[in-house]
Structure 1
Amino acid sequence: MDLDVRERTAVVTGGSSGIGLACVTRLLAEGANVVTCARDRERLDAAIAPLDAQYPAQLSWQTADVRTGQEVDDLINAGVKKFGAIDMIVNNAGQSLSSNFDSTTDADWMSEFQLKFFGVINVLRAARPWLTQSEVASVVNINAVLARQPNANLIATSATRAGLLNLSKSLSVDFSDDNIRVNSVCVGVIDTGQMRRRYRAAESELSFDQWYEQLSLNLGTNIPRLGRPEEVAAAVAFLLSPLSGYTTGAVLDVAGGIGRYV
């Protein structure tokens, strides 16, 4: 299926691993130009260099912390300098904080708020002037089922993800006058480096597959396996594309049926 994004330019934050890297890879394969970033230069270079060898004219990347406005401005400016436009945004940079109310410090609360909100706000502020010039402008915010089905052991992450879902809906209305679509993809348990780190931190005697199978049973996943980043990227690419041109303000779960809300 041709998604009609060839020679369009997408910005993907958090592109050095997991869902972000899968989105970068999928969009490049579809013929799009991609601007991406991550905080760790070594990890970013290691992840993107093989793609740059395959798609040398389609990539722009540099380190950037999405919580820092100037670094985001520099990222967007570099992308525009190389490609001349910004048509699509994937706000992916994020993390989960394992903590309950008693163990969550003020600094933890602020860190989650800064990342979940300003990691999106800074990117959209910098890119919006260019999005308004595109006839296919679209934004996808990567979120989680936690936004609507919170976990008390991820209390700060659950709360801020709920706020991001609300913000995304508001943006879909606010940006409609500029013909910019805004949608959300809410993920469940995806096989990323973050999930592998949670497994190591658990110091379980089970193998990773056994540990995840038990986690899957506890969570009530209908498809008892980890989701793959490539499965999320496929949904993101479709929502970004003109093929979903009549879709905005929507939420698509890629979560194996873990969501029990209506």
Structure 2
Amino acid sequence: MPMIDLDGRVAVVTGGSSGIGLATVELLLEAGASVALCGRDETRLREAEAGLRARFPGAKLYAARCDVLDPGQVRAFAAASEAALGPAQMLVNNAGQGRVSTFADTEDEAWAEELRLKFFSVIHPTRAFLPQLERTRDAAVVCVNSLLALQPEPHMVATSAARAGVHNLVRSLATEFAPKGIRVNGILLGLVESGQWRRRFEARPDEDRHLDWAAWTARLAGQKHIQLGRLGLPVEAARAILFLASPLSSYTTGSHIDISGGHSRHA
């Protein structure tokens, strides 16, 4: 049973065809919201859409291929979403994966690519949907970010720096949008089960082949000093997103929720 009734509200989720984005779409639909989602991979998007329509046959759902780094595509997605479902009241900016690299092996092109991805995956959708958010009540923007924003890792130097910038951007947008009645918040992810971790598991060395997924991730959690002893689940991140996107958090803006299972070491 959903924790809140979002019937009559419209939510938009970028990167909504897999992982945390898809889990967020599912929770929003369970709560009765109309949902527009987008993704870059057409095949994966249509598979996700088919699964959602089978599970929620009466739901109001719109799915479109869109590269959030292309402002024209994002503007077109915003217009089509509004035409299909009405003006958005909730926008979830779900950024992409991290880049593993140190300062020594990160070239200028890689820096530019990572900074562009992390910033403009927030900037383009927020800019495109802002006119809709301004026309609705209890509007909210949620940005999916990483604990790297406050707890950088040297082997992810470019991603850590970009994540810190997005953390600051959330605070700036919250201040600017508050007079418009729009709340802006974020979540800070630790290690969450994903396709990226599954691929690392499949590529594990021969000496680790005796470990199944549960044992391998439990060992990883121990190595990373995650107090809860496991990786997070996409739905656990999605629950925090639902809270921040909905009126459940009506007096919260410029804030971040830590979803790291105790991995956080920052003050």
Q: CA–CA distance in 2 between the matches of 1:126 and 1:44?
A: 21
Q: CA–CA distance in 1 between the matches of 2:183 and 2:204?
A: 40
Among 204, 223, 231, the residue aligned to 1:226: 231
Deviations 1:211-246 (A, max 9, x none): 322221121101001111111111110111112100
Q: CA–CA distance in 1 between the matches of 2:107 and 2:18?
A: 28
Q: CA–CA distance in 2 between the matches of 1:204 and 1:58?
A: 47
Q: Between Structure 1 and Structure 2, how many residues are aligned?
A: 262
State the one-letter code of the partner of 2:97: Q
Equivalence for 1:180: 182
Among 96, 99, 102, the residue aligned to 1:97: 99
1:39 aligns with 2:40: yes
Ranges in structure 2 where 5+ consecutive residues have no aligned partner: none
Q: Report 1:103-182 matches (<5 A).
A: 103-182=105-184
Q: CA–CA distance in 1 between the matches of 2:50 and 2:250?
A: 32
Equivalence for 1:18: 19
Taking a change above 3 Å as real, the CA distance of residues 170 and 202 of structure 1, as seen in their structure-2 partners, is: farther
Q: CA RMSD in A?
A: 1.4
Equivalence for 1:5: 6
1:60–1:79: 8 Å Cα contact kept in structure 2? yes
1:84 aligns with 2:89: no
Equivalence for 1:48: 49
Shift in Å, 1:177: 1.2
Ranges in structure 1 where 5+ consecutive residues have no aligned partner: none
TM-score normalised by the chain length of structure 1? 0.96
Equivalence for 1:251: 256
Equivalence for 1:65: 67
1:87–1:134: 8 Å Cα contact kept in structure 2? yes
Q: CA–CA distance in 2 between the matches of 1:217 and 1:105?
A: 32
Q: CA–CA distance in 2 between the matches of 1:175 and 1:251?
A: 16
Higher mean alpha-carbon deviation, 129-138 vs 213-222, is at: 213-222
